[in-house]
Homo-oligomer: A and B are copies of this chain.
Amino acid sequence: MKTQETKKLNGLDTSQMFETVGAIKDQPSLARFEFRASNQWKSGGENQSEIQGFYGAGREDDSREEPFVFTAGEPPVLLGANEGANPVEYLLHALAGCVTTTIALHATARGIRIEKMSMKLDGDMDLQGLLGLDDSATVGYEQIRMNLDIEADCSDEELDNLIAFAWEHSPVCSTVRNATPVSLGRS
């Protein structure tokens, strides 16, 4: 019993984690993933995505019996009826979730126990960009701020090092911070 318990840190199975890392070191192609979503427009600013399958670790994943379904909408001030959070808000959730998971993962790899972790995010936008009213306006977020509240059983220096590492190694944070190619075609 005790042996099994000590294999978990921050809710992650450390044996499985180090086995996964070892397998990828031996065969780097296992690290190749393709993630997917499909989206259906409903009306106005309302649309719905389904997310289920993906490719990774050398095979097609079949672990999800049902798709995850998410509705995007807009608030009344943006011509909607709050059918769901809006897409730029979903982006903040994706960013928060990814940085949080990246911190949890690398804390575990470093043997750091996280006592608690939460964050608040905000981002600035000038809708003149979206509306095409001012070509000098930034179309996307001008900047996004993440403010983390975290306690862990390590020194402040180790914690700052872990956070900086996560900022660098979170896939969503990196996708946003860097210019990522996006193609949009039609069938």
Let me know if A6 is at the binding interface, CB within 8 A.
no
A183 contacts partner chain B, Cβ-Cβ < 8 Å: yes
Structural contact, B32 and A148, CB atoms closer than 8 A: no
Closest Cβ–Cβ distance, residue A86 to chain B (whole Å): 8
Tell me the bound Cα distance from A123 to B37 in angstroms.
9
Across the A-B interface, give the 8 residue pairs with the lowest CB-CB distance, nearest first. A11-B43, A140-B175, A72-B97, A11-B44, A140-B174, A87-B98, A39-B96, A139-B174
A175-B97 contact given A33-B127, A34-B123, CB 8 Å threshold? no
Within the complex, the shortest CB–CB distance from A88 to chain B, in Å, comes to 5
Using A47-B100, A97-B72, A124-B32 as known contacts, say yes or no to A17 and B79 having CB atoms under 8 A apart.
yes
Residues of chain B within 8 A (CB-CB) of A172 are: 87-88, 90-91, 140
A44 with B12: in contact, given A72-B97, A180-B143 (CB under 8 Å)? yes
Q: Give the residues in chain B near A21, CB-CB below 8 Å.
A: 131, 133
Report whether A93 and B129 are in contact in the complex, using a CB–CB cutoff of 8 Å.
Answer: no
A127 & B24 in contact (Cβ 8 Å cutoff): yes
Q: How far is the CB of A98 from chain B (nearest CB, A)?
A: 4
Contact B165 A132 (CB under 8 A): yes
Q: What are 15 of the A-B contact pairs (CB < 8 Å)? A: A25-B133, A33-B127, A39-B119, A40-B117, A41-B114, A54-B89, A87-B95, A87-B98, A90-B93, A90-B94, A91-B98, A132-B169, A143-B180, A148-B187, A166-B184
Contact A79 B37 (CB under 8 A): no
Chain B residue with the shortest CB-CB distance to A16 = B79
> With A51-B93, A183-B145 as given contacts, are A121 and B171 in contact (CB-CB < 8 Å)?
no
